[in-house]
Amino acid sequence: MKNNEKQFEDFVRGIKFDDTPGPSHRNKLEQDLLGILAKQSQRQKIWRMILKTKIAKIAIAAVIIIAVVIGLHLHTGSVRLTTLAFAKMIEAMKEKPWMHIVMESVRGKAEERFEVWISFESQVYASKRSSGQIKYGDGQRHRFYAYEPDTETITISSIFDDEITKGATSVWNFGETWLRQLAKLSTEFTKEIGQYNGRDAKVYMSKMSRNERTYEAMLIMDTERNLPVFGHQKSFDSNGNLIKEKDLYFEYLEEGPASVYDVGVPKDAKVVYLACPSHELADVAAEHDKRRRQLGDFRGVTIFTGGQGQATLTIFEYLASENQRRHGISVGLGNYQSKSLDELVESLVSAGCLPLLAATSKGFPGVVVFPCYEIPLEPTMADYIRDYGVGEWKIVTNDAPELSNQIGCQLKSYSADAVSLHTWWVDPEHDYWVSQFTYELLEPHANLEDGAILKSQCQVVEFGKTGGGCSYPRRIAMRSSGEKDIEEYYGIYLEKITDAKDTDIVFLSKALGALLQFE
């Protein structure tokens, strides 16, 4: 056999193939693919958000500030200094009537410009992308405007809760919490005194590595005013090649945009479908929101089994308390993936990977800037009402035994190129958790054969109870049409954040024991 292989290898070596790729085909295909991607992005944005792990949205200001201070974040071994410097900067920013940030990024040949205006005083934020997309949130009037240049349409939805009002505070609270986590880590930083535009400035620089990438960041802060004036970030791959570069310019203005038109929306843009949720539905969502806040802050472990049999263990933080203000944030602390559940269990337990996992997860807190592992189902309804609430909302009922005492909140949504139906079944007996969510794209889906309709469903198979008696979804199954296998959150284990340490082997052992029913 080996001889056969060797001889065949020699035989093959003597053959000359015309297999050099042709640049013209490669380039043409690249352009074709980019065109298809552009068309898909709108649709995928919606359905990806619903189906799988959801990236929670933090108010845009937090994203930008946190992006800047990613370089600043680890800039000291001293927690006190970090917190103090950051707090002073935040206070100075909040005193300004308007903050204007321009972010210019370059990735390869692709350039993007992103502008944001924020006023804490009038509770307004607005943003404009180089693609022409514009958003304007008016916290006082509870109105959210989104302009899509492709359709030249402004959609207006209601800001359902007082997220913007609170957001101005919670954004910073979140930033501070995050920074405290970061401060636990140690890394090199430098602080230099210099000048920026003729004024005294402090220049913070840091470097960090994560997932085979290296990040370098610089933030220049005006010494006298304690305000950031310029930021610069670079990311490199493992070979040291520059991947992305960003410049951030900060301005502090007396006046800002008074309406969505001031940000650049044409006056003749169509305005479509202002459809506020009914009062009854608003009450359901408010109760749902309230119960989530009561849940508290937890550290959790979940095992997710995919359609191909693969299994992933994830450690996360679920921060729901009033203290955190912004409910429903879950932060990924670490994960461990395996080809099958059996292999996962075997490698974690038999092969002694548990201590390793515990040790490796130590490096994660704070590195995850964006909350990334969301318990599915949870805050999507409120977010949808707030951000995508354009469409027809109604309360629906279903006589099926498993749904008869649940409240169905349904949205028929009209996006630029698709009509879809979203239904959240809220279960009052389980602390108003959404027990089932279905999504239907009401037109044939490209990924499915014979013009079939995409329908996906996410269902809580089993509820658990926290020590405090609150319900939480313990097992969740997700299924999409066209996919044979069910994807399942095999189990979610929560322990109060004050009791559990993610690096604690006892905590991990207990979690695995509870999830997999072994000692």
- Residues of this chain that interact with other proteins (CB under 8 A) are 1, 4-5, 7-19, 21-22, 25-26, 29-30, 32-34, 36-38, 40-41, 44-45, 48, 52, 107-110, 211-213, 237-239, 306, 308, 310, 337, 446-447, 483
Shortest distance, position 241 Cβ to other proteins, whole Å: 9
Element (H, E) at 12: helix 2-13
Of residues 18 and 268, the one with the C-beta less far from other proteins:
18
Shortest distance, position 481 Cβ to other proteins, whole Å: 13
How many CA atoms within 13 Å lie on the side-chain side of 437? 22
Of residues 149 and 464, the one with the C-beta less far from other proteins:
149
Shortest distance, position 476 Cβ to other proteins, whole Å: 16
Shortest distance, position 13 Cβ to other proteins, whole Å: 5
Of residues 160 and 388, the one with the C-beta less far from other proteins:
388
Of residues 110 and 193, the one with the C-beta less far from other proteins:
110
Instruction: Give, in order, the Cα–Cα distances in Å from 83 to each of 69, 76, 95, 97, 186.
Output: 12, 10, 18, 24, 14
Q: Contact 473/433 with Cβ under 8 angstroms?
A: yes
Instruction: Give, in order, the Cα–Cα distances in Å from 338 to each of 313, 346, 479.
Output: 8, 10, 21
Of residues 26 and 80, the one with the C-beta less far from other proteins:
26
Give the number of other CB atoms < 10 A from CB of residue 229: 18
Shortest distance, position 41 Cβ to other proteins, whole Å: 8
Shortest distance, position 151 Cβ to other proteins, whole Å: 20
Shortest distance, position 171 Cβ to other proteins, whole Å: 23
Shortest distance, position 19 Cβ to other proteins, whole Å: 4
Q: Contact 311/317 with Cβ under 8 angstroms?
A: no
Shortest distance, position 486 Cβ to other proteins, whole Å: 14
Nearest of 59, 67, 176 to residue 120 by alpha carbon: 59
**For residues 302-316, b (16+ Cβ closer than 10 Å) or e, as one string?**
bbbbeeeebbbbbbb
Nearest of 415, 393, 383, 165 to residue 276 by alpha carbon: 393
The three-class DSSP label of residue 321 is coil
Of residues 7 and 78, the one with the C-beta less far from other proteins:
7
Shortest distance, position 514 Cβ to other proteins, whole Å: 25
Q: Contact 357/403 with Cβ under 8 angstroms?
A: no
Of residues 41 and 323, the one with the C-beta less far from other proteins:
41
Q: Contact 100/252 with Cβ under 8 angstroms?
A: yes
Say if strands 227-236 and 213-222 run parallel, antiparallel, or are unpaired: antiparallel
Of residues 33 and 356, the one with the C-beta less far from other proteins:
33
Nearest-angstrom CA–CA distance, 480 and 456? 4
Q: Contact 326/58 with Cβ under 8 angstroms?
A: yes
Of residues 240 and 401, the one with the C-beta less far from other proteins:
240
| Bridge partner list, 497 | none
Shortest distance, position 111 Cβ to other proteins, whole Å: 10
Contacts of 171 (CB under 8 A, 6+ apart): 58, 59, 61, 62, 65, 326
Of residues 239 and 404, the one with the C-beta less far from other proteins:
239
Shortest distance, position 355 Cβ to other proteins, whole Å: 23
Of residues 108 and 401, the one with the C-beta less far from other proteins:
108
Give the number of other CB atoms < 10 A from CB of residue 264: 14
Question: What SS3 string covers 414-483?
Answer: ECCCCEEEEEEEEEHHHCCEEEEEEEEEEEECCCCHHHCEEEEEEEEEEEEECCCCCEEEEEEEEEECCC
Q: Contact 39/332 with Cβ under 8 angstroms?
A: no
Contacts of 321 (CB under 8 A, 6+ apart): 293, 295, 296, 297, 327
Q: What are phi and psi of 458, to 5 degrees?
A: -130, 120
Shortest distance, position 430 Cβ to other proteins, whole Å: 28
Of residues 266 and 482, the one with the C-beta less far from other proteins:
482
Of residues 13 and 279, the one with the C-beta less far from other proteins:
13
Nearest of 297, 299, 327, 292 to residue 314 by alpha carbon: 299
Q: Contact 277/389 with Cβ under 8 angstroms?
A: yes
